[in-house]
């Protein structure tokens, strides 16, 4: 699993110039509006006579605590995610986001394209949960079997490609462990909702790991929003 921050909303320089020269916004507000949280607050105050206000932490906290989520739709964030074909469908279920994913129809998978997953025991009381108390011997054997299955599957896959079978057909023999790479774009509002769901213990552990890594990145980029959302960085 790998997470990379690709981009986040920034204000266009021409708009900053417009605010300073035509609207008469004070020069000291320039640094505020160039930050994504400052931009969110500026837009949130569209009906205020004091729109260019350097103090905005309280406004963001108030809006979030009172369910005024629309202000968080004024900023977008894009992440690159490397995971497996087992986890990517869980991510794609979040329909308020836009996605681009590596296509096995058009590009071949290479021999290193597998994620090994730890063995966990099924929780008999909560089917959404699994417990990491498998013996080291069973865990090691599980790792070995995953690799063995991958080698066999990849051999069938390469045989198909070598015999001019289309990639969209050859991919059918690949296991759910096959790596995939995707880009996930959404508003800050969508990310807050995503973290609240997927960083929770009801989510599969591998998906929790992704959500927690994204949360840590968002805490750095949006510290005021992170505080209002009561996130805790690990």
CATH number for the domain spanning 171: value is 1.20.5.3070
Is 13 found in the same domain as 74?
A: yes
Same domain, 194 and 157: no
One domain, residues 157 and 125: yes
CATH number at residue 194: 3.30.1360.170
pLDDT tens readout for residues 136-177: 999 999 999 999 999 999 999 999 999 999 999 999 999 999
Q: Are 86 and 177 a contacting pair, CB within 8 Å?
A: yes
Give the separation between CA 124 and CA 10, rounded to whole angstroms: 48
User: Quick one: how far is CA 195 from the chain centroid?
Assistant: 9
> Does 57 share its domain with 12?
yes
Q: Give dist(CA 116, CA 178) in Å, integer.
A: 9
Strand extents, DSSP E, 34-170: 76-84, 98-101, 121-122, 130-131
Domain-terminating residue out of 135, 158, 176: 176
Tokens of residue 208, six digits: 């929790």
Convert the pLDDT of each residue in 180-209 to its tens digit: 999 999 999 999 999 999 999 889 999 999
Residue 185's H or E segment, with its range, is strand 179-187
The domain of 201 spans 2-78+182-228
Return the ∠ at Cα 206 (arms to 2 and 106), rounded to 5°: 55
Return the CA Rg of the chain: 23
Catalytic machinery residues:
198
- If DSSP codes are grouped into helix, strand and coil, which group holds residue 178? strand
**What pTM does this model have?**
0.93
Number of domains in the chain: 2
Q: Does 223 have pLDDT greater than 50? A: yes
Sign, Cα dihedral of 161, 163, 164, 165: negative
Q: Rounded to whole angstroms, how far apart are CA atoms 220 and 6?
A: 14
| pLDDT tens figures, 23-68 | 999 999 999 999 999 999 999 999 999 999 999 999 999 999 999 9
């Amino acid at each position: 699993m790998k997470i990379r921050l690709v981009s986040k909303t920034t204000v266009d320089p021409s708009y900053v110039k417009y605010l300073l020269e035509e609207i008469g916004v004070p020069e000291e507000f320039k640094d505020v509006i160039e930050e994504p949280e400052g931009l969110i607050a500026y837009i949130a105050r569209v009906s205020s006579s004091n729109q260019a206000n350097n103090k905005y932490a309280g406004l963001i906290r108030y809006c979030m605590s009172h369910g005024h989520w629309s202000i968080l739709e004024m900023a977008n964030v894009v992440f690159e995610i490397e995971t497996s074909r087992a986890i990517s469908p869980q991510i794609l279920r979040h329909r308020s986001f836009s996605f681009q994913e590596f296509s096995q129809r058009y590009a071949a998978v290479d021999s290193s394209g597998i994620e090994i997953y730890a063995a966990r025991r099924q929780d008999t009381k909560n089917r959404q949960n699994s417990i990491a108390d498998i013996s080291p011997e069973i865990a090691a054997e599980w790792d070995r079997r995953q690799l063995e299955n991958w080698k066999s599957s990849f051999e069938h896959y390469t045989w198909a490609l070598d015999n001019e079978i289309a990639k969209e057909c050859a991919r059918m023999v690949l296991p759910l462990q096959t790596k995939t790479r995707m880009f996930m774009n959404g508003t800050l509002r969508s990310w807050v909702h995503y973290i609240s769901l997927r960083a929770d213990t009801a989510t599969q552990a591998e998906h929790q790991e992704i959500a927690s890594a994204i949360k840590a990145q968002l805490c750095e980029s949006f510290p005021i929003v992170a505080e209002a959302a009561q996130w805790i960085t690990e």
